[in-house]
Structure 1
Amino acid sequence: MRDQPPLLVRAVWFLFVGWWLTGLWLAAAWLLNLTLVGIPLGIALINRVPLVVSLKRRDPPVAERTTESYSWPVRAVWFVCIGWWASALWTAAAYAVTLTIVGIPVAVWMHARLPFVVSLYDY
């Protein structure tokens, strides 16, 4: 695991910047995901949500994957039929849980799973 900022720094970041910036960040990501050209940038923004909300860096990728990824056509159909609206609900719920303070660990978990909700993209 990479070095993380101290918990106190992360808490101060959340209190003064993270909680409101995350709302704007998620709204921009979701709106970008509604456009064909904006999807790559929207997914990139989604992947950085834990960093924005609490300065939490992603763990390095695991060398061996135990799960198989979904094919591109399956992921595209999922996004068109389900992912775009399910991600809006998931994002709203994750942000609401973030604002409860005690729910921050659950919110960070939800933010980390947002790419899967959007397009079945598994890390």
Structure 2
Amino acid sequence: MAEQRSFLTRALWFVVVGWWATPILVNVAWLCNVTVVGIPIGITLINLVPTALTLKQPRDLDAAAGGSQHGLPRRAVYFALVGWWASLIWANVAAFLAVTVIGLPVAIWMFDRLPYVTSLYRF
């Protein structure tokens, strides 16, 4: 696992790039998700949202208390039944909260968890 960048670096990235690049990334991912062929690309893009937002690095799940990822069949069924619509709502609520100073910390927390809401992917 790569070490996390400093808070200052991540904050500067958010102010200069993350705040405008993340909504574009989410919308491109959703355009991919509306086609069967584009779903793998869309899921991959959604999994990159925490990195695009604040340069957050994926954590080492073997060392974390949470253990490993859920299996692909479980994640696929979850995405088909719940993830595709729940993550759209989740991302829009996060985007709404991001435009307020008070809601910004919650929005960042929500965007960091968007991969899990979409497909049970632990980032």
Q: Identity across aligned pairs (percent)?
A: 46
Q: CA contact under 8 A between 1:30 and 1:87: conserved in structure 2?
A: no
Q: CA contact under 8 A between 1:90 and 1:114: conserved in structure 2?
A: yes
TM-score, with normalisation over the residues of structure 2? Answer: 0.76
Q: Whole-Å Cα distance in 1 between the matches of residues 72 and 10 of structure 2? A: 37
Structure 2: any 5+ residue segments left out of the alignment? none
Greater displacement, 49-58 / 111-120? 111-120
Matches of residues 108-123 of structure 1 in structure 2 within 5 Å? 108-122=108-122
Report what 2:80 is aligned to: 80
What do residues 71-116 of structure 1 show as CA deviations (whole Å, max 9, x unaligned)? Answer: 72x5444433432222111111122233334544433332232233
Give the secondary structure class of the aligned counterpart of 2:113: helix
Cα 1:119/1:50, change in 2 over 3 Å:
closer
Compute the displacement of 1:121 (Å).
Answer: 4.0
TM-score, with normalisation over the residues of structure 1? Answer: 0.76
Report what 1:21 is aligned to: 21
Cα 1:94/1:28, change in 2 over 3 Å:
same
Question: How many pairs are equivalent?
Answer: 122
Q: Whole-Å Cα distance in 2 between the matches of residues 69 and 28 of structure 1? A: 25
